[in-house]
Chains A and B, each alone.
Chain A
């Protein structure tokens, strides 16, 4: 299994490098732009459309929490939707999964190696982005003191990891359950978008507040509160618990799957 894990890690290093550089640049741009747009953003803060999309940009904490921190799982969500569904369903369609299944590996080892590899890849991206942005913030602090420290920003960026892991596990589960990668991508994208918009709309529209507990983004600490209140251990544990649940469902579904057949679960042979 270790050899498979190493292979899975190696196959992702270019993606890790690319996403790390891209998201670091994204963060650095936003860190440096704030003084120039501070007054305009303060004027926009009361607009409901801003609130609906979770923006809270009147202060430096709100600005960083609503851009760098909030956008981290959104950008990485794109990577996860592509990568987690490519991992099982995509490899099944490419024919490479059949080769793996003909080796003396348990099915749970294959799913686990892929889950760990994606999880480590995302963690590595977040650590690079958090470190680069934290160091830039430290430089900003020496010139123009702000209310966020290196470690606060570092933790806030890494805080995206549990939420993203939920979508990784969900992607693996849908890949193992559904007949094609295309269907898995459509459903995972739908859940991702609904979860993000649902949480923001629930914040803004009282009649929609009932959907907030069902939105995964509701348990992701961002905006100004991630710096003023901090990351909530309860939210992190809950997201990791949901990720673990979907990972377990992925293991069960893949154990039952007739690989190479592309059938719906009810069309599968008995186990």
Chain B
């Protein structure tokens, strides 16, 4: 049996002439935490909504658990916990009423029993009305609603937004526990350190296109090199202005560079000015994300 939980093939959504997503090919495997990265409007939420049959694709296919997202959406949604990017509960209900309602609608008997435990872990008083909750506490209700009943797949659109640091940490713990139990998480976030700390793989989406899918480990180890070069002579300002290279700092003869797959070219240029010293440093996911984005921008301009 295939261990692919989410699969999209050439998934495209257009709203009239407006772009949604284009040609997204994505595979998320069983038991992994897959991070979906991209700025606002890149297409992360649209992709998640297509998976849940909230939005219909213009072309292409999407499946979860091997089931077609549109034709077999009911069976899929029985096994999926979802937290939308903008969680908006019914304001007239208490947290408990909301969670009880959605537990019954999700048709999972394990839902009710897990509500109390999740409320305790997230330090939420479910007896208060939604309109009395702060933004963070509303978000906690949404998180509990997604996690209750231990669904096989969790689709979380920016789950830690608006949460205090303690609650953020609890949510990331819950996400890791989900993976450790062999269940799967599709997770979107703007907070790179948390993506780096919990995700196994990431997909980077830009202007509706998936520009990179890679494991966090190999992204950090292989993709981008941070180099501090100390040169004999001062190179001109545009010396390292080549595709795939970003100059991050310059101090006299010392130049710091983020290099994407162009190490040979960079060293060849550096040799012209005489290399006194080379140091390499750890690159964060955020820096990789920015470099890949800039690289994609340049490619777009060149095209």
Contact = CB atoms under 8 A, between A and B. Distances in A.
Chain A interface extent, by class = 20 to 34
Interface in B78-119: 78, 80, 82, 84, 86-90, 92, 101-102, 104-107
A3 B87 CA distance: 21
B191 to A, nearest CB: 22
B101 A11 contact: no
Given A263-B15, A268-B56, A102 B104 contact: no
A226 interface: no
Interface residues of B, number: 36
A268 B14 CA distance: 8
Residue from B74, B86, B90, B105 having most chain A Cβ neighbours under 10 A: B105
A104 to B, nearest CB: 4
B16 interface: yes
A263 B46 CA distance: 14
Contacts of A205: none
B54 A94 contact: no
> From DSSP, what is the main secondary structure of chain A's interface residues?
loop
Contacts of B101: 3, 7
A3 B97 CA distance: 12
Given A269-B15, A269-B57, A270-B56, A104 B88 contact: no
A105 interface: yes
A95 B106 contact: no
Contact of A104 (B57, B86, B106): B106
Interface of A: 3-4, 7, 11, 94-96, 98-106, 256, 258-261, 263-264, 266-271
28 contacts: A3-B105, A11-B92, A94-B88, A95-B87, A96-B89, A98-B84, A99-B82, A99-B84, A99-B87, A99-B88, A102-B54, A103-B102, A103-B106, A104-B106, A105-B74, A258-B15, A258-B54, A258-B56, A259-B49, A260-B54, A264-B16, A268-B15, A269-B13, A269-B14, A269-B20, A269-B57, A270-B57, A270-B59
Given A99-B84, A100-B105, A258-B54, 16 more contacts: A95-B88, A98-B84, A99-B87, A102-B52, A102-B80, A102-B82, A104-B105, A104-B107, A259-B54, A259-B55, A260-B54, A261-B15, A267-B18, A269-B55, A269-B56, A271-B70
